[in-house]
Structure 1
Amino acid sequence: MRHFKQTGGTLLALALMSTTALAADSIRLRLDWSWWAGQTPMILAKEKGFYDEVDLDVEIAQGQGSKTTTMVVGENADPIGHANLSTVAQSVSAGVPITAVAGWWQQGPISLICTDPSIKTPADVKGKRIGSTPTGSDGQILPAFLKANGLELTDISLVNMPGDAKFAGIASGQLDCISGDDYFYAPQLKAQGKEVSVLKYADWGVTNLGFGIVVNNDYLAQNPDIVKRFLAATRKGMEYTFAHKDEAVGIFLKVSGNTQPAEFHRSVLEAYEASLHTRHSEGKPLGWMAEADWEAMNETLAEFGSMLGKKEATAYFSNDQLPQ
């Protein structure tokens, strides 16, 4: 039997090889905005060790808006981002080298939120005072909502205002409805004792995909396995979040330091859970996106929004990295 003498250099080399083999892949996820409850599945996946289980060391960085996130990911400063998919679509059309690889919150939350109890259908908004932000995604989709339901802008009393002024306007009774995210405005109005009706654009003929994961194209081509592991662990975090909402809210509050009531954040998660699929993606794995939804949304953005350079729907997204 032959024996080998292990020198100090050999032992060091073996130790380094072992460390390298066990090292997790590091990645930074850029969020769409500062902390809010829709980011809970990713926060939970990190806190519960789901990313660790797939050998990923994930740093989560807060964002400054989905548009900024798409640019940061496009530059590969942070290779993966969480962003509004309608914003992703407009960035891709403008030439930003990114691809949506998962659509989590698929039925977009943009809606008309009304405190006039007579408003039950789109036809009921005729003559009503509606606050909207023209530079926001809600303002760009409002005309499509009206057209899809046989209405014109002249049928309503449109009040253009900044986003932070809309809630004050409807809370004080100066407006009948506001255009915005239902999960954010509706619970706050209900907490003030107001009767609230919601006309979700997605329920009334306007496809607007919500939030999902976007990846830099070069990074995706070079690191498909990392992206697949990230999506698998994130989906596990999402499933755990919806199965344990109270625990998930507690983790979100601990990490974010948010001071809003836990009930508010739970209501956001409930809205999220109810919006995971469209009729085209129903029955498919969580995160799977339909070509028909992207095409319909992009047609709306090209006609009513600021999208230029509309491409074929498959240029915007891929389902190939999702766990089956």
Structure 2
Amino acid sequence: MQASFKARAGRLLGATLLSLCAGLAQADDKITFLTSWYAQAEHGGFYQALATGLYKKYGLDVTVKMGGPQINGMQLLTAGQADFIMGYDFQVLNSVEKGLPVTTVAASFQKDLQGMMTHEDVKSLAALKDRSILAATTAHTTWLPWLKSKYGIADSQIKPYTFNLQPFFADDKVAQQAYPSSEPFQAMKNGKKVNFFLFADDGYPPYGTTIVTTQKMISEKPDVVARFVKASIEGWKSYLADPAPGNALIKKDNPKMEDEQIAFGVKRMKELHVFDGGDAATMGAGVITDARWEQTYKFMVAAGLLKPETEWKKAYTTKFVKDLKVMP
């Protein structure tokens, strides 16, 4: 009887251990994703994927962390404190130039969100030649060289932008850098009629709100990368169809974000076709192409923003999006 009891106990213990091991084997992969700024509509697809269980559906336990002015996302990524970050093509190309092992794996938006806000009498970017243009310091190493080259903007026209809209409101001959859901929203709240011109619609080449990870993650956990990309892009499609779940998490992370501003941001993203325009319309959302990256590389080299010998093809890979086929 004692031997029989021990045998039964052994079988029970073995079954319990097998059950525990199976549970561990099926545990979701833990992922930390770092955004580029405080939570807002332009981050909505990632919050939506979390809120609606899309990440869970693809076996991922995702933590979304907000970026901010004092947070260096690239530094945290390369230090292993984040698995993916919300990136920017210029930033990634400059990082590759410095030898950092980082790569873009997908693009939330086919268009970068940077643009120009003008008074309503200005009908195009070509009409800026007689205007003062307010631009932040970072503009000099991103979009400003493109604007100067394309439209003949003179250095004498450029004035510092201090993220205060009063100079714009006070002078009808001033134009300023803007994002579609930020400065135009503030102008609307102040009763000012303005125009907004998205640089991408005039040929500015970089993608917007990209997903960036390390080459180590790509080589060691390609399946995790593939699942994160797919869930995130599906999250964007879901968010633009019904943003309520994602908005709840955005407001939880950033209580200062008002419903009206979030709604304005969603509206503008739809109107500008940043998610479903360009190659995404035929190739599927999230897509990135060799041609677009080459265009960005050539622009940066011509503008003196990147060394010609930079191994620019290391800045991206198309393998996680070429067969994704999430049609917007």
Asked whether the two chains share a fold, i.e. TM above 0.5, the reply is yes
Matches within 5 A, 1:1-324: 5-7=8-10, 9-64=13-68, 68-115=72-119, 117-134=120-137, 136-137=138-139, 140-149=142-151, 151-154=152-155, 157-162=157-162, 164-165=163-164, 167-173=165-171, 176-253=174-251, 255-273=252-270, 274-276=273-275, 279-304=278-303, 306-308=305-307, 311=310, 313-322=312-321, 323-324=324-325
1:212 is displaced (CA, Å) by: 1.0
**Residue deviations 1:116-175 (CA, integer Å, cap 9, x gap):** x321123321221211012x14763123123213x1315x6221233x23x232134386
Could you tell me how far apart the structure 1 residues matched to 2:231 and 2:168 are? 40
1:242 is displaced (CA, Å) by: 0.8
1:298 is displaced (CA, Å) by: 2.3
Given the superposition, is the C-alpha separation of residues 86 and 66 from structure 1 closer, same or farther in structure 2, using an over 3 Å criterion? farther
1:312 is displaced (CA, Å) by: 5.1
1:49 is displaced (CA, Å) by: 1.2
Query: Relative to structure 2, which stretch is displaced further, 230-239 or 71-80?
Result: 71-80
- Conserved? CA contact 1:143–1:152, under 8 Å: no
Please, what TM-score do these two structures have when normalized by structure 1? Answer: 0.87
Could you tell me how far apart the structure 2 residues matched to 1:137 and 1:76 are? 29
Could you tell me how far apart the structure 2 residues matched to 1:76 and 1:5 are? 46
1:218 is displaced (CA, Å) by: 0.5
Given the superposition, is the C-alpha separation of residues 137 and 292 from structure 1 closer, same or farther in structure 2, using an over 3 Å criterion? farther
- Conserved? CA contact 1:139–1:179, under 8 Å: no
Could you tell me how far apart the structure 2 residues matched to 1:198 and 1:236 are? 28
* Other structure's SS at 2:143 match: helix
1:281 is displaced (CA, Å) by: 4.8
Given the superposition, is the C-alpha separation of residues 67 and 311 from structure 1 closer, same or farther in structure 2, using an over 3 Å criterion? farther
Percent same amino acid among aligned pairs? 17
Query: Unaligned 5+ residue runs, structure 1?
Result: none
Given the superposition, is the C-alpha separation of residues 17 and 280 from structure 1 closer, same or farther in structure 2, using an over 3 Å criterion? closer
Could you tell me how far apart the structure 1 residues matched to 2:107 and 2:17 are? 44
1:313 is displaced (CA, Å) by: 4.6
Aligned-pair Cα RMSD in Å: 2.5
- Conserved? CA contact 1:111–1:179, under 8 Å: yes
* Other structure's SS at 2:55 match: helix
Could you tell me how far apart the structure 2 residues matched to 1:29 and 1:247 are? 18
**Residue deviations 1:232-263 (CA, integer Å, cap 9, x gap):** 2112211110111345434432x224334312
Given the superposition, is the C-alpha separation of residues 65 and 74 from structure 1 closer, same or farther in structure 2, using an over 3 Å criterion? farther
Could you tell me how far apart the structure 1 residues matched to 2:301 and 2:320 are? 28
Could you tell me how far apart the structure 2 residues matched to 1:65 and 1:207 are? 25
1:67 is displaced (CA, Å) by: 8.2
Query: Relative to structure 2, which stretch is displaced further, 173-182 or 40-49?
Result: 173-182
- Conserved? CA contact 2:135–2:161, under 8 Å: yes
Please, what TM-score do these two structures have when normalized by structure 2? Answer: 0.86
